[in-house]
Structure 1
Amino acid sequence: MENMKQARRDVGTFSGLCLLYGMVMLLVSGFWGMVVTLYQALQHPGRAEEIAYETYEFLQTDGTHYLISVGFGVLIFYLYRNGKLFKSDLRTNKKMTAAWFFRFLPFLFFAQFAFFGVNFIFESILNLFGWTMAPAVEQASGQSESWTMFLYASILGPISEELIFRGAGLRTFETNGKMFAIVMSSMLFGVFHGNLSQFFFAAGVGLLFAYVTIEYSIYWAMLLHIINNLVISDGISRLSMVMPGEIVESVYLGLLGIGSILSILLLIRYRFAIKQYVKDHRPPKGIYQQVFRSPLLWIFILLLVYLSLGTLAPLG
């Protein structure tokens, strides 16, 4: 029973630190907005409308505040782990082979396919009530339009998120079993995105990244995360700048189809091994009920759900 209470405290503390990280991001964003406004004011003295317009346009695509924020975020969780974040939290287990790495890759495309499927279902339901989640989808899958946003979304974002969720989070929760660590770190990773359309996708790939981390190494999870953001998401979008949109769409749909089929075949082939893995590493009975009694966890979930609702828009 004491272990379950400790698990509740661990999840609550981690959720609280995620909230703190989110507040830091808001503060940095606000500060950076003031810096940009001041710069525009110096460039366009006395022209308030032009200052506001230029500031808005710049901040729409700029990722500088994210680049600053990730440093604070990693520092928060480094202090939380008492310096273990860059030591034992990054430990390697089994050696990754090329064969297994290329077995994991198709699941990135399968997750993208599932992302569109889930979004279609939610969009259809929301449309019945006169709402759309198109802005949320665009926010989740939009192309980086500045080098700062590209650097954050494709490189530093994936690395920092792996350090926080598969480093600090996964290793903290691991004391209650591998499956508990994989499930909880992935769920919190999905919630942290604060985007309704992104929750299931982030939680889904989070399961893959968490398994790779706990069985192989966080460095391989970082690489898979970077491939997902840099190649599959941003890379495919950038292809449309140099190739006809119809060709890019056909290539993308083909990759999604092939990746999804391969993923399903792999799941069928290893279904007994997966079932045995889950059975061997299942957490103590009742631990999830105990964990979901954490007030901080619910504050974290409800606040991010509330923010994600802000990405919805009236239909038409």
Structure 2
Amino acid sequence: MKLLWQPNQGKQANTTLTDMSSRVYVSSTAFPSGANVPHASMKQIRASLNEQAGMLILYLVVMQLIGPAIAAILITLMQAMHHQSVSLGAAFGELSSSSYVGLTNLICVASAFVFWILTHKSQIADTSSDGVFHRSERRMPPLVFIGAVCLLFTCQSLSTIYNIGFSWVVQQLNLEVVSNSERIQAASGTVAMLVYASLFGPIVEEIIFRGVIMKGLQRYGKVFAIVTSSAMFGFFHSDVSQGLFAFSGGLLLGYIASEYSIFWSILLHIVNNMVISNIDSVIFSALPEEAQFWTNLGFLVLGIVLGVLVLYLARVRIKNFITANHAYKGVYASWASFWFVVFIIIQLLVTAMEFSPVSS
């Protein structure tokens, strides 16, 4: 889950919002749903991906510039109602405090989400297979849902192992990192942050990435759409710690949304943020310190074992899905689209801002 309030994060695109959103949806409906389009349509694929990435940049601009301004105004009004005199400038300084960071993130994501709805209302309201909330005729088998939960647990385990190695490398380079996940953890005790991280955030992110972006690209191949939207989801978090998990988890959620509907991917996202990501901390708090290491190790091993088992049992299903929904050769060259590259560069620069030399 991305912590949304980070000053000076957004960069503004020079395309009008209405024109861009309408072209994205028009280009996404140019071919029958699920079809692999001919190689001659690479120009359309680049244009579609280009505009999806451009809209995501504008979403970040609203989230990082307009959202904080609205939050500061609301904090000023709230404090005035309690007969506390505070300037607007002082309210901006309170946005990243542990008392207000959860509320700030809720306001930022809500502001940007309103923008996203207004610029994608046609696709959101569409009841066809290209629509965000289209329900698949396939029923969700209980074993598939349980397997998906297990794989999310595996993603958490792999992310933890990666973070251990990454932390060691950072220490060897005499650097320190203040990541989004650490900021979220610091404010996790507030009701607003709980609502944002466990409920509202997952719903919004699924509608954006698995609903609009993935659905808008899936006529060029479902596998291409899942991988591309997952890559954008990973970079969107602009966090070394969360990015890898967001990408791997995005692959799973993309498959679930594609095969069974976005409602199931939303539910799994909520389960992950509300339950799976908090299991270790809940259990650790009840254990003596000397037992925590072995408990953590046991969870990591269990996550890997579950992942290997689920992937082995589902190997035929996975192979058949990839075979039936692969994109034609060379389609990933569309990742060279200008705004897609700009989006990645912006997020990499924001990620680099997390690093600083260790203070002596």
Scaled by the length of structure 2, the TM-score of the pair is 0.76
Q: 2:26 is matched with which residue?
A: none
Structure 1 residue 56: Cα displacement: 5.8
Distance 2:121 2:93 in 1: 43
Q: 1:308 is matched with which residue?
A: 351
Structure 1 residue 163: Cα displacement: 0.7
Q: 1:157 is matched with which residue?
A: 201
Q: 2:58 is matched with which residue?
A: 20
1:233 correspondence with 2:277: yes
The CA RMSD measured in Å over matched residues stands at: 3.0
Residues 102-126 of structure 1, C-alpha deviation per residue, up to 9 Å, x if partnerless? 1111111111111122223333333
Q: Which has the higher helix share?
A: 1
Within 5 A, what are the aligned runs for 1:79-228?
79-86=118-125, 87=127, 88-93=131-136, 94-133=138-177, 135-139=179-183, 144-228=188-272
In structure 1, runs of 5+ residues without a counterpart are none
Distance 1:237 1:85 in 2: 37
Cα pair 1:236 1:248 within 8 Å, conserved: no
Given the superposition, is the C-alpha separation of residues 62 and 140 from structure 1 closer, same or farther in structure 2, using an over 3 Å criterion? closer
1:7 correspondence with 2:45: yes
**DSSP 3-state at the match of 2:188:** coil
Structure 1 residue 313: Cα displacement: 2.9
Residues 46-74 of structure 1, C-alpha deviation per residue, up to 9 Å, x if partnerless? 999xx679936745653223323333433
Given the superposition, is the C-alpha separation of residues 141 and 178 from structure 1 closer, same or farther in structure 2, using an over 3 Å criterion? farther
Given the superposition, is the C-alpha separation of residues 258 and 148 from structure 1 closer, same or farther in structure 2, using an over 3 Å criterion? same
**DSSP 3-state at the match of 2:140:** coil
Cα pair 1:236 1:252 within 8 Å, conserved: yes
Which shows bigger deviation, 30-39 or 114-123? Answer: 30-39
Scaled by the length of structure 1, the TM-score of the pair is 0.86
**Partner amino acid, structure 1, of 2:263:** Y
Distance 2:298 2:269 in 1: 21
In structure 2, runs of 5+ residues without a counterpart are 1-38
Given the superposition, is the C-alpha separation of residues 20 and 270 from structure 1 closer, same or farther in structure 2, using an over 3 Å criterion? same
Identity of aligned residues (%): 30
Structure 1 residue 311: Cα displacement: 1.5
Cα pair 1:153 1:229 within 8 Å, conserved: yes
